Structure 1
Amino acid sequence: MENYVNFIDTAWKKFISTGKVNSKVRSEIKDSWIRCMNYGVDPYNGKGNIKHPNVKQLINKNNELISVARPIMESIYSMVRGSGFALFLTDKDGYIIEVIGDKDIMERVAELNFLKGELWSENVVGTNAIGTALYLNKPVQTIAAEHYGINQHSWTCSASPIYDEDDNLIGCINMSGNYYNAHSHTMGIVTAAAQSIQKQMALAISYKLLNITFDSISEGMIVINENMKVKRINGKALKILNISLEQAMNMDINEVLNGVNFQKLLQEKNKSLNNIEWDFSINNDIIKCVINVLPLNKNGKSSGMVITFTEVKIVHKLVNKFVGYKAQYQFKDIITTNREMKNMIAFAKKAAKSDCNILIQGESGTGKELISQSIHNYSDRANGPFVAVNCASIPSELFESELFGYEKGAFTGASKEGHPGKFELADGGTIFLDEIGELPLDIQSKLLRVLDNGKIVRIGGTYEKQLDVRVIGATNRILKKEIIKQNFREDLYYRLSVMEIKTIPLRERKDDIDVLVNDFVQKLNIKSKDKTISVKQLYINELKEYNWSGNIRELKNVVERDYYLSEDEIMNINCLNYDNVVKNIDSEESLEEEIKIVPLDCLEKNAIKDAIKKCNGNLQLASKLLNIGRATLYRKIKKYDIYVSK
């Protein structure tokens, strides 16, 4: 070693004085000396002389690297303690971010400014293991005068770069001591340390990503071991269960999920529970969830389980979204110029902004559901579900299960997972009970209880579930008459009709027929694409003479049929019997004479033949007389094979 130290010292002095390098000097040292001379580094210095402007910020920036590297550095130091060596960690630029060493070596370290925050790159302090290793991007050992700065000639240093999992340079680890203690094993130690740091960094990042994923998933997650002890729980689970981390780590999973046979699941290979509705019992609260239980297997043996779960109400929201439990209409979709209708809409808007139950009464076809959907979308519940139930279509024996749901095994044929009712699906939103006058009396009493306290009990259930649901009822019956007939509970009527809305039949708002017909035809034109049809005012006036017992629904059907039976314009009603068009006719009266019905094709053909005959074969005059276009007349002539004399 002494011979080499003397040789390299002589070679260094010659290079500093002449700029020439002895050919026996290692190429990586020779090249570094030349670079340092070109940098203008002072060979008679070799101390750190540039400090990071914000050492605290530097440490924080590299905190992850430091936290991983320090235990490894301490492990190495425990093996070399008392031997005069110190360990150094730098960032990718060469700034020192951690130092560990004996007291006596640390005094020498301070003399060289070999301290936290100091920059030890090659272009600042000259050839040194840290700076040269970072420059060459490979492990480097420097001994005695191989260092470019004279103040380092009593040192030996071994450094190795550190990379992240993507092979990006992130730092350097270095081991320094007295030059006479130099050994090739030192180089091996730091190289192994760098590799160990890299592996630990990769593990730390993977673990961090797993933690981020664990805590960011939208489901609650609990990991338990084979002894049923909670090992991990994510933030979502704590939020759903409304407990602290300490409570969670100490809870008995068998009590919390009473009824799940965890021991059996552990014993049976590849056995799991999927999408099962189950109750968490926490602090005397019942939290309904949909759970999945998946056993963890290690070397063919069960080592625990992963339980994932979602609140039932969240599942219901997803169900509502995909099955269409959403209100489509808004008040702006109600087409009217009628003053009474506008007053009704203004009242409905006020009712929407309250949280009262609402009763809508009116004839069929007057838009009760349109109004109920508009109320929902105008209210503060607009983002919640809108669940419509046609009470007239539910068999009497199924009313309770449809509205309030049932627990697993509640009756023969019941789903083994249980089933939510329409009220649960409407939680946070609105339930629309259409044809509410058809409810059986026993269901009316249960509905009254729900309206009173906002709670439901499933069939077979043992506890009440609090809901936040607004009820809108609708009926074409006169409920006060039904109360007299004892078909409807009076107390339920008054509980429902806090806000009562009466729809207006079309016969009382005939001034709306103009705008309604034009709107229907405009939408049909957009839908058909291949033709555009206009509406004659005579046609609208004729519609106004009809009683419209089916209201807007009937009007829409009539207009749609006339649209498809017309070519260019809708001029005549094609689908109403003559007796229905007579002004102010009473639907209960009958005509004294029976009107003979003639097929429309025959009427049209005869009308065209008569017009051509009257106009002496002049088709232009005939088309004007028939009030149709000439092109249409030609098509009809061809269709009916009508002879036209030349």
Structure 2
Amino acid sequence: MENYEEFITCAWNEFINNGYINPKVRWEIAESWKRCMGYEVNPMDGKGNDKHKASEKLKVEENAQLISVAHPIIENIYNIVQGSGFAIMLADKDGYIMDIIGDDDIMKMADELNFVKGQLWTENVVGTNAIGTALFLDKPVQTIGAEHFGIHQHSWTCSCSPIHDEEGNIIGFINMSGNVHSAHSHTLAMVTSAAQLIEKQMALTISNNLMNITFDSICEGMIVIDEKLNIKRVNDRAVEILEISYKEIVKMNIKQLMSSVNFSEIIGKNITSYNNVECDFYINTKRVKCIINAVPMKVTDKVIGIVITFREVQDVHKLVTKVIGYSASYNFNDFITENERMKDIINFGKKIARSHSNVLIEGESGTGKELIAQSIHNYSERREGPFVAVNCASIPRELVESELFGYEKGAFTGASKEGHPGKFEIANGGTIFLDEIGELPLDIQSKLLRVLDNNKIIRVGGTYEKQLDIRVVGATNRNLKEEIKRKNFREDLYYRLNVMSVKTIPLNERKEDIDVLVKYFVEILNAKSKDQHKKVNKSYLDKLKKYNWPGNVRELRNIVERDYYLSDEYFVTSYNEEEMTSIKDVDVQDKRESSIIPMQILEKETIENAIRICEGNIVKAANYLNIGRSTLYRKIKRYNINNG
């Protein structure tokens, strides 16, 4: 080593004095000397330059993660070489010293050389040195004695290795410096190994941090349990849903939280997973209903634990309402009317919307009962919640209860094994619209009354009462007071539902609206048929005003649509004029006793006419008559009507 020190010192002098580089000088050092000469670095110096010094605090903040990982490794290396006259430094990606540990004598020498925290140790500042040259070459470098460009570093030996991230970018350097007489190739091997260890630890730390961030950012609650069913990990969302502290929950066994799921079976019998299972979490005296997924964690085919993800049932229902489309489309601004009574109903509806009371909407078919219900919902504080419409007449009698209130798993033969939420649960936080409420069976009416009394439902086959936040809007074309007299509707339910009452106006009592409604329907049809622009004349409107409109606005819209496609530029006459006059007009004001017709005959003729008008389309005919499709089929069979 002494011979090499003498050789390199002579070679350095020749280069500084004559610009000659001995060919035996290592190429890394020779090229660095040339660069330093080009940088105009003073070879008679080589100390740290305060002009380039950076804030220690700022550098530590910028490289906090690297320092936290590297410092323990640096300490371990120092414990090995302690007392041998070495100092170990950590530099950032730019070459600034951030951390340093060493023996007292070498630390004193480092102070004299200004080889301290915050100093920039690049080639263009202090000349050839292990840190600066390793930065330029992006490879481990060892510098011994006069290999350093600056004369003040000739008593030093330094070994440095760059530290890379997973993409191969330099993030820092680890350097080991000491007296030139202590130079050894093992020193470079030591810092290179340390750099690799730091790289692996950094990658692991970043991976863990990302996993932790991901774990806590998942919108579902997540619990990780081991094979003994002890809770090992819980994310922030789980703590939020269950309203329990992290310290409390990690001390619990999963059986304490979820007694209804056999997790031992999942581990012992190697079950693949539990998907979308509804179950309850029991937290002290509280019960939280959730939808869970449980997936076993395997290592070499052995289950070492289970990952449980879960959502509150209410959140799942909100998602379902968005996907399925349980929302209200209409607002009070969508009403088209010139009628003063109708305008009063709109203003009254706005007042109703501000309350939380239940609402009963009564009126003939086709007078816009659901339009009013949707407008009340969209004008209320519940507008962001679901709007669930249920046609009570279209649900088979045996399924009404489960459809409205849901059922638990195994509640009856054919029931889904996961159970099923009812329309009331899905509407939680919003509005449920019970159309044709007068068609509900009496036993369901009594259960509905209980829901209206305490805002709680019990699923079919269940024992747990679920608290709801819901507004009920009922609608009917029947006279419910008459139905009460006939024992077809509960009087207590009527008064409980009829807190706010709205009575719609039939079209024959607001014929001034026919003009604006027809023009509105035609505008929509013109917009759909871009190659046509048809107009309505006065004679056509006058003929429409002579009709009594038993089907109200719905019937008007259908007739205008038919006439639109069967007319030329102008609506000259109604295509359905004969049909309109042939339909029996059951007007309560018309009391011609000699022409009283039995209801069965009227119903049969009305159904036959509706099927003929709808050209045999049963779905359209059912909508036209404002009854359920299954109800229409039953009546067709009862009256032996030919629907072909």
**Aligned counterparts of 1:514 and 1:415: Cα–Cα separation in 2:** 52
Aligned residue in 1 for 2:272: 271
Matches within 5 A, 1:320-359: 320-359=321-360
Per-residue CA shift, 1:592-642, capped at 9, x if unaligned? 9xxxxxxxxxxxxxxxxxxxxxxxxxxxxxxxxxxxxxxxxxxxxxxxxxx
Q: Which amino acid aligns with 1:19?
A: G
Deviation at 1:303, TM superposition (A): 0.7
Deviation at 1:589, TM superposition (A): 4.9
Aligned residue in 2 for 1:12: 12
**Aligned counterparts of 2:240 and 2:562: Cα–Cα separation in 1:** 57
Matches within 5 A, 1:19-38: 19-38=19-38
Matches within 5 A, 1:471-550: 471-550=472-551
Deviation at 1:543, TM superposition (A): 0.9
The answer as to 2:50 corresponding to 1:41 is no
Per-residue CA shift, 1:25-63, capped at 9, x if unaligned? 222222222222332222232221235443212111111
Q: Which amino acid aligns with 2:23?
A: S
3-state SS in 2 of match to 1:131: helix
3-state SS in 1 of match to 2:577: coil
Per-residue CA shift, 1:376-417, capped at 9, x if unaligned? 112121121110111122233322211111111222332221
2:329–2:374 contact (8 Å) kept in structure 1: yes
3-state SS in 2 of match to 1:473: strand
3-state SS in 2 of match to 1:280: strand
3-state SS in 1 of match to 2:31: helix
The answer as to 2:354 corresponding to 1:366 is no
Aligned residue in 1 for 2:610: none
Relative to structure 2, which stretch is displaced further, 400-409 or 26-35?
Answer: 26-35
Q: Which amino acid aligns with 1:5?
A: E
Structure whose CA Rg is larger: 1
**Aligned counterparts of 2:119 and 2:254: Cα–Cα separation in 1:** 54
2:550–2:585 contact (8 Å) kept in structure 1: no
Deviation at 1:584, TM superposition (A): 12
**Aligned counterparts of 2:590 and 2:166: Cα–Cα separation in 1:** 86
Aligned residue in 2 for 1:136: 137
Deviation at 1:581, TM superposition (A): 9.9
Q: Which amino acid aligns with 1:173?
A: I
Per-residue CA shift, 1:491-541, capped at 9, x if unaligned? 322222222111111111100000111111222223334433221111101
Per-residue CA shift, 1:52-80, capped at 9, x if unaligned? 44321211111111122122222222221
User: Normalised by the size of structure 1, how large is the TM-score?
Assistant: 0.88
1:545–1:584 contact (8 Å) kept in structure 2: no
Aligned residue in 2 for 1:621: none
Aligned residue in 1 for 2:462: 461
TM-aligned CA distance change 1:534 to 1:472, over 3 Å: same
Deviation at 1:15, TM superposition (A): 2.8
Aligned residue in 2 for 1:210: 211
Q: Which amino acid aligns with 2:386?
A: P
**Aligned counterparts of 1:460 and 1:108: Cα–Cα separation in 2:** 84
TM-aligned CA distance change 1:583 to 1:449, over 3 Å: closer
Aligned residue in 2 for 1:395: 396
Q: Which amino acid aligns with 2:47?
A: K
| Structure 2 alignment gaps of length 5 or more | 596-644
**Aligned counterparts of 1:415 and 1:127: Cα–Cα separation in 2:** 77
**Aligned counterparts of 1:516 and 1:271: Cα–Cα separation in 2:** 60
The answer as to 2:218 corresponding to 1:221 is no
Aligned residue in 2 for 1:632: none
| Structure 1 alignment gaps of length 5 or more | 593-646
Aligned residue in 2 for 1:417: 418
**Aligned counterparts of 1:178 and 1:584: Cα–Cα separation in 2:** 115
Relative to structure 2, which stretch is displaced further, 297-306 or 43-52?
Answer: 43-52
**Aligned counterparts of 1:216 and 1:295: Cα–Cα separation in 2:** 21
1:545–1:581 contact (8 Å) kept in structure 2: no
**Aligned counterparts of 1:368 and 1:345: Cα–Cα separation in 2:** 12
Matches within 5 A, 1:255-294: 255-294=256-295
TM-aligned CA distance change 1:522 to 1:588, over 3 Å: farther
Per-residue CA shift, 1:353-375, capped at 9, x if unaligned? 22221111111110000111111
**Aligned counterparts of 1:400 and 1:425: Cα–Cα separation in 2:** 14
Per-residue CA shift, 1:324-352, capped at 9, x if unaligned? 21112122221111111111111111211
**Aligned counterparts of 2:315 and 2:576: Cα–Cα separation in 1:** 49
TM-aligned CA distance change 1:263 to 1:571, over 3 Å: same
Per-residue CA shift, 1:181-234, capped at 9, x if unaligned? 111111111111112222222222222222222122222111111111111111
**Aligned counterparts of 1:186 and 1:245: Cα–Cα separation in 2:** 47
**Aligned counterparts of 2:9 and 2:531: Cα–Cα separation in 1:** 98
Relative to structure 2, which stretch is displaced further, 7-16 or 228-237?
Answer: 7-16
Aligned residue in 2 for 1:195: 196
TM-aligned CA distance change 1:179 to 1:254, over 3 Å: same
Matches within 5 A, 1:55-454: 55-454=56-455
1:579–1:591 contact (8 Å) kept in structure 2: no
**Aligned counterparts of 1:381 and 1:318: Cα–Cα separation in 2:** 16
**Aligned counterparts of 2:446 and 2:15: Cα–Cα separation in 1:** 106
CA RMSD of aligned residues (A): 2.1
Relative to structure 2, which stretch is displaced further, 160-169 or 263-272?
Answer: 263-272
Per-residue CA shift, 1:466-485, capped at 9, x if unaligned? 11111111111222333333
**Aligned counterparts of 2:590 and 2:269: Cα–Cα separation in 1:** 73
3-state SS in 2 of match to 1:297: strand
Per-residue CA shift, 1:92-119, capped at 9, x if unaligned? 1100111122233222222222221111
Deviation at 1:173, TM superposition (A): 0.9
TM-aligned CA distance change 1:34 to 1:557, over 3 Å: closer
Deviation at 1:425, TM superposition (A): 0.4
**Aligned counterparts of 2:204 and 2:67: Cα–Cα separation in 1:** 15
3-state SS in 2 of match to 1:57: helix
**Aligned counterparts of 2:543 and 2:401: Cα–Cα separation in 1:** 48
**Aligned counterparts of 2:584 and 2:447: Cα–Cα separation in 1:** 48
1:142–1:157 contact (8 Å) kept in structure 2: yes
Q: Give aligned-pair identity as a percent.
A: 62
3-state SS in 1 of match to 2:305: strand
3-state SS in 2 of match to 1:193: helix
Relative to structure 2, which stretch is displaced further, 321-330 or 135-144?
Answer: 321-330
Total equivalences in the alignment? 592
**Aligned counterparts of 1:354 and 1:262: Cα–Cα separation in 2:** 47
Deviation at 1:160, TM superposition (A): 1.0
3-state SS in 2 of match to 1:384: coil
**Aligned counterparts of 1:542 and 1:441: Cα–Cα separation in 2:** 44
TM-aligned CA distance change 1:209 to 1:42, over 3 Å: same
**Aligned counterparts of 1:254 and 1:475: Cα–Cα separation in 2:** 49
2:364–2:477 contact (8 Å) kept in structure 1: yes
Aligned residue in 2 for 1:558: 559
Per-residue CA shift, 1:268-288, capped at 9, x if unaligned? 235211111111111222211
TM-aligned CA distance change 1:360 to 1:584, over 3 Å: closer
Q: Which amino acid aligns with 1:565?
A: L
Relative to structure 2, which stretch is displaced further, 582-591 or 227-236?
Answer: 582-591
2:265–2:271 contact (8 Å) kept in structure 1: no
Q: Which amino acid aligns with 2:175?
A: N
